[in-house]
Structure 1
Amino acid sequence: MEESRFLPEGRAVRTAPVPGPAHCRPPAVPRAAARPLPWLALTGAAFALLQLVLVVPGTGLGWDETVYASQVARDVPAAFFSAPRARGITYLIAPVAALTPSATALRITLALLSGAGLWAALRVWRRLLPTRVLALGGALFATLWITLYYGPQVMPNLWAAYGALAATGCFLRAVQDRTDRRALVGLPLAVAATALMRPPDAGWLVLVPAVAALAVPRWRRPALVLLLAGGLLLGAADWIVEAYLRYGGLFARLQRAAEIQGGIGWNLAVDDQIRSLDGRGLCRPCDVPWTHPVTAVWWFLLPLLTAGGVLAAVRARRPATALLPTAVAVATAAPYLFLIDYAAPRFLLPAYALLSLPVADGLWRLAAPGGRLRPRATALLATALAAHLAVQFAVLTGNTARNRHMRQDFTAAATALHALGVRPPCVLTGDHAVQLAYYAGCASRQTVGPDAGTTPQQLRAAAARRPVAVLVPPSAAPPALARGWRPAALSGTGSFRGYRVYRSPAPEAGAAPAPTAR
């Protein structure tokens, strides 16, 4: 067989076959990909370092994070695990969380792992794209405020993005070289990783490659469809088993998950996603004014930049390296743009990861169409990228500042609860109870809402054995559950200004000492 090698400008040429027995010949590797590891490793290391410097110090766990972390964290009772959630991220943090529930320890671990994950996902593409394109694409993706902010968080979306990027690369390698065993092994594993983190995302992920494996003549390999399906089932196996054990079946869990998400159906959420780019972690309902349009400039340019990347790939005679990731990106983004009525920027991380490669391909060709950098074009692009990065880091700075204030508020509130006698083993219910329970070392039990997992009668029964407290926001009346219980103001400022705590009359003698606030 002939080898394909990339010239500096990214074009492929044919070289003479390497003599020798077929079973001894190494697979053909593009020259630009022959030594990709240092550059790609540097990209991953820089991503981890930025998180450690900009995001990790002083930030605390948000509501979703406390739900995931509490499932495996030491000395923290598990919060209610609702139907849409999957346990993949809890498995990832389990070794560290079993030793300490410290938010900082979890942040550092995930920052380092996410840097390694970016390197691993890009490395899959080393036989498909020049190293410079991979490094630039990784840098573009890694410097979005969304990627940096959620990199060290106990959230599954970035890891689903890595799985989508790796799975798409493995599929493309498998259809272009049927002897690529690593791609055949990596394809179901990458899909399984996505399914373990976000089962619905994995379903949309496999849709495009499965159709391509059956419909594109040159790629027709029905066996790849089996690998895709096998990876999906492997990764979602625990989610499916749990559906039958806790929710009455897979359909019942899917139905309950849709209810919690406000229903699945035609809902144009494109404008919601655009508004959320100014730093909103969750825009629900997203009826807020669009006050910072500059934060969405890159989003509006993304389709044009992607089209430029497709054109660059066509001219380099490898159109599939841009068309396939673009198609998969559209498939993974579709449910979050058109099927739910709210927005969270992290939902689109798989799409952004996939689109980063054609965008990088187009930008590189624009700056160096003949393999050499054009000074004027390079300077113009560098200026535009610098402005883009300035906006991204401004949004990131605002988000991390708000998170640090949140951690201070919840730590102070946990200390106040301990001073009021609400100490482990204790139970919290009411507004902000799920998140505050993690900081206070209590169990959280809700009687209404998506986290409802108990009844008022059960909470009253629990109050006979341990402290139970109801958190009531300002100007709200206490629930019937707390009638006759002892009210107290929740001291502190910020998120809990004006909150009241209604404590059960259960005896407090013998309660365990309060843990250090987290």
Structure 2
Amino acid sequence: MEESRSVPNAPAVRTAPVPGRRPSAAPRSTARPLPWLALTGAAFTVLQLVLVVPGTGLGWDETVYASQVARDVPAAFFSAPRARGITYLIAPVAALTSATTVLRLALAVLSGVGLWAALRVWRPLLPTRVLALAGALFATLWITLYYGPQVMPNLWSAYGALAATGYFLRSVRDRTDRRALVGLPLAVAVVALMRPPDAGWLVLVPAAAALAVPRWRRPALVLLLAGGLLLGAADWIVEAYTRYGGLLARLHRAAEIQGGIGWHPALDDQIRSLDGRGLCRPCDVPWSHPFTAGWFFALPLLTAVGIRAAVRARRPATAVLPTAVAVALAVPYLFLIDYAAPRFLLPAYALLSLPVADALWRSAAPGGRFRPRATALLAGALAAHLAVQGAVLTGNTARNRHMRADFTAAADALHARGVRPPCVLSGDHAVQLAYYAGCASRQTAGPDAGTSPGELRAEAARRPVALLVPPGDAAPAVARGWRPVPLSDTDSFRGYRAYLPPAPRTTAGRVPAAR
């Protein structure tokens, strides 16, 4: 019999086992690969459950969003810039309970699933190892971990932007990819539902690319992008006409609340806020911990290296387009508003994690084989980076837990003074404290103004009312003749007074559990 010869690229031929001979071990290439993307999402959830969820309370913005669907808390005033996407996400849980820990647990699990789903969109475009590394880099930022289980829309806007960019690239690469054609408008709709302005900036780059790049020219994709934007923003647009007097009126009011939209370079504000500030407004604080922003300065360099690596791998679009979309999403928060919040840039960080991961992987393992020195150097740099992120996260969660204890003590003090549900709070910190106390919040001035001084005094004749005044401030005219009582001897409320009507009616009611 003639000896068979191997033919390059020929399909493998299975041979029947020889009697009496033990079958050889299966080749390693047939082993099922680990589900790295699912493991990345699961690890993200576990980190949240261990580091963030236990004992943390709802912040001011969270109480506004959560109160819209909470079972036993009246809805807070919903200002013009806000969108209701995150309230829809938590509504099934809030229908059962408004307990903060339960909301945190649900969002931690959902955010891990969301990370996996957004990365999975890119599987036909990038190696799984690069995607897993990108997910790990993004998920271990203190900003991502801190806001993962929070009732805030920014992380979900990031997931939508990441998925939409991947679906667009898949659509122009393979015109028969039906999942991409369906997923593209849905991903844009998610962003629009969470943060309508983000969705507007998101669609600019892919829409321009679909019209200007010859190989990608597909005007139909522009229609899908626009359709997704309108679908997700429909609720926000309808509400603009029913509550704010029209779309332009709502946009104008939203701009007023945000301090005006114009040329306001805030890059330095964003850098200073990376030391753990949730909101830097006004951002006139010293830059006391420069090392917390080291990775921010390395980001442009690593992105450039990632683009170069993608070009060498003959897939430049997988780095260039995410970078362009990330820049577009970052522009309003870096140059058009005069304050900073690290969470605003989460969509940009999610997209930039792809070229950065590509750069790090190519540097450590060019050709698929690890270089010991480069790998050791990168491992050391990443360990230092993670240590900084962990330190900032630890400080933030500690302050949050302290805040929760302070607000719970203040709510208990109000209950002891007879301010029990159904009740109304107004004044400084009223919106957030009202959630903890189970009261409604009614402001007579500022961006959350929803009542008048006369209406507030009329409320005092029907149910318990308290007006919160910070130390050093005089009581407003609406509280003339009301009696001041100390609120709580805690860090957050030391020196605060609660002004109560002369003869408040204490309607008996169930005091809600501490949130």
Partner of 1:142: 139
Worse-superposed segment, 52-61 or 498-507: 498-507
The AA in structure 2 aligned to 1:154 is V
Residue 401 of structure 2 corresponds to residue 381 of structure 1:
no
Q: Which amino acid aligns with 1:309?
A: G
Alpha-carbon distance in structure 1 between the residues aligned to 2:163 and 2:178: 15
Shift of 1:492: 2.6
Whichever residue aligns with residue 499 of structure 1, its letter is Y
CA drift of 1:134 comes to 0.1
Aligned to 2:331: 334
User: Which stretches of structure 1, 4 residues or more, deviate above 4 A after TM superposition?
Assistant: 34-37
2:154 counterpart of 1:157: yes
Which residue of the other structure, out of 300, 321, 326, is the alignment partner of 1:324? 321
Q: Which residue of 1 aligns with 2:46?
A: 49
2:470 matches 1:473: yes
Equivalent pairs: percent with the same residue?
85
TM-score, with length taken from structure 1: 0.93
Structure 2 residue 430 is matched with structure 1 residue 453: no
How far has the Cα of 1:289 moved from its partner?
0.5
- Alignment equivalent of 1:114, drawn from 111, 117, 120: 111
Residue number among 400, 404, 418 corresponding to 1:407 in the alignment: 404
Question: Which runs of structure 2 are paired with 1:119-138 in the superposition (5 Å)?
Answer: 119-138=116-135
- 2:237 partner amino acid: I
**Residues 437, 66 of structure 1: CA spacing in aligned structure 2 closer, same or farther, 3 A cutoff?**
same
Aligned AA for 2:462?
R
Residues 1:212 and 2:199 aligned together: no
Q: Does 1:203 align with 2:185?
A: no
Instruction: Indicate yes or no: 2:267 matched with 1:306.
Output: no
Task: Supply the AA of the counterpart residue of 1:126.
Answer: R
- Find out whether 1:352 has 2:355 as its counterpart: no
In structure 1, C-alpha distance between the alignment counterparts of 2:507 and 2:224, rounded to whole Å: 56
Q: Distance in 2 between matches of 1:132 and 1:446?
A: 51
Give the match for residue 179 of structure 1: 176
8 Å CA contact 2:464, 2:507 repeated in 1: no
Asked if the contact 1:36/1:126 (under 8 Å) is kept, the reply is no
Q: Distance in 2 between matches of 1:472 and 1:279?
A: 27
Other structure's SS at 1:494 match: coil
Determine the C-alpha separation between the residues in 1 that align with 2:454 and 2:504. Answer: 18
Tell me the secondary structure at the aligned position of residue 364 of structure 1.
helix
| Number of residue pairs aligned between Structure 1 and Structure 2 | 489
Separation in structure 2 between the aligned mates of residue 35 and residue 389 of structure 1, nearest angstrom: 30
- Helix, strand or coil: the match of 2:484? strand
Q: Is the 8 A contact 1:93 1:106 kept in 2?
A: yes
Taking structure 1 as reference, are residues 425 and 506 closer, same or farther at Cα in structure 2, changes over 3 Å only? Answer: farther
Task: Judge conservation of contact 1:128–1:321 (CA < 8 Å) in 2.
Answer: yes
Report if the CA contact (8 A) 2:464-2:506 is conserved. Answer: no
Aligned equivalents of 1:81, 1:35: Cα separation in 2: 50
Q: Which moved more, 1:101-110 or 1:345-354?
A: 101-110
Flag structure 1 segments of 5+ consecutive residues without an equivalent. Answer: 1-14, 18-31
For the residue of structure 2 that corresponds to 1:282, the secondary structure is coil
Q: Which amino acid aligns with 1:477?
A: A
* Alpha-carbon shift at residue 429 of structure 1 (Å): 0.2
Question: In the alignment, which residue of structure 2 is the partner of 1:291?
Answer: 288
Deviation at 1:16, TM superposition (A): 10
Query: Aligned pair 1:463/2:466, yes or no?
Result: no
Write the distance in 1 (CA, Å) between the matches of 2:372 and 2:506: 75
Paired residue secondary structure (1:127): coil
Q: CA shift at 1:485, angstroms?
A: 1.1
Once residues 140 and 298 of structure 1 are traced to their aligned partners in structure 2, the CA distance between those partners, rounded to angstroms, is 11
**Contact 1:465-1:506 at 8 Å conserved across structures:** no
Mark the runs of 5 or more structure 2 residues left unpaired by the alignment.
1-8, 12-28
**Which segment is superposed worse, 50-59 or 491-500?**
491-500
Find the partner of 2:231 among 230, 234, 243.
234
Letter in 2 for 1:300: F
Whichever residue aligns with residue 54 of structure 1, its letter is L
| Structure 2 Cα separation of the partners of residues 323 and 271 of structure 1 | 25
Aligned mates of 1:113, 1:510 — CA distance in 2? 39
Asked if 1:427 is matched to 2:397, the reply is: no
Give the Å deviation of 1:101: 1.2
The structure with the largest alpha-carbon Rg is: 2
- Whole-Å Cα distance in 2 between the matches of residues 491 and 377 of structure 1? 56
Deviation at 1:423, TM superposition (A): 0.3
Match of 1:63 in 2: 60
Q: Deviations over 1:234-292 (max 9, x none)?
A: 00000000000000000000000000000000011000000000000000000100000
Cα distance in 2 for residues equivalent to 1:129 and 1:63: 39
CA contact (8 A) 1:463 1:506 kept: no
Query: What CA deviation, in whole Å up to 9, does each residue of 1:344-398 have, x standing for no partner?
Result: 0000000000000000001100001121011110000000000000000000000
Shift of 1:510: 3.6
CA RMSD of aligned residues (A): 1.4
Are the equivalent residues in 2 in contact too, given 1:312–1:362 (CA < 8 A)?
A: yes
Alignment check: 8 A CA contact 1:145 1:392 kept: yes
What is the rounded CA distance, in whole Å, between the counterparts of 2:33 and 2:466 in structure 1?
Answer: 56
Post-superposition Cα deviations, 1:71-129, rounded to whole Å, max 9, x if no partner, equal 00011000000000000000000011111111111111100000000000000000000
Secondary structure, in 3 states, of the residue corresponding to 2:35?
helix
Structure 2 contact 191–199 (Cα < 8 Å) conserved: yes
Q: Of residues 500, 505, 508 in structure 1, which corresponds to 2:502? A: 505
Q: Deviations over 1:387-427 (max 9, x none)?
A: 00000000000000000000000000000000000000000
| 2-structure distance, mates of 1:285, 1:376 | 45
> Among 480, 485, 496, which residue is 2:482 paired with?
485
Match of 2:514 among 482, 502, 517: 517
